[in-house]
Amino acid sequence: MDQSNASQNRKNRRSNVLMSASLELSGTSVPVKLRNLSAEGALVEGDKLPIEGASLLFRKGDLSMAGTVAWVKGRQAGVNFAQKLNPDQLLRHVPAPKARVTPTFRRPGLTKFTDEDKGFGGQWHWRFPGSTD
């Protein structure tokens, strides 16, 4: 399947995630990494993926959804769900974004040097390479 325009043809926005999931088919369970998720499907990554067109059961936690393999490329595959996930099911498996923290950087003041410290600084500053004093 040509995927050059796949993102343009999507009706629903996909949420990028990195979670474990599994694909069940023919009585076996294949562990996969869930890379992204939408109401209509998922992008999974793993070893021994089923072939394109295979019917399967996608499982993520308590979510269990029938679907088919839309495409396989290397270690990645696209799964189309037989029916759309409702927003509550979808959002339960997509983590909420973390709040961004704005760091506050302050430059330390240079007024805390003692006279002795200033003397060392002056000696170091005026010393030339090769001098013996």
pLDDT, position 71: 95
pLDDT, position 92: 64
pLDDT, position 90: 61
**Contact at 8 Å (CB) between 63 and 93?**
yes
Q: Copy the structure tokens of residue 7.
A: 């993102």
Give the pTM: 0.58
**Contact at 8 Å (CB) between 41 and 47?**
no
Distance CA 87, CA 75 (A): 28
> Residue type at 98?
K
pLDDT tens string, the chain, 133 residues long: the values are 444 444 444 455 666 677 888 999 988 999 999 888 888 889 999 998 999 999 999 988 888 899 999 999 999 999 999 998 876 666 665 666 677 787 777 776 666 777 787 777 677 666 655 555 5
Domains of the chain, first to last: 6-92 (2.40.10.220)
Distance CA 21, CA 29 (A): 10
What's the pLDDT tens digit per position in 49-63?
A: 999 999 999 988 888
pLDDT, position 43: 92
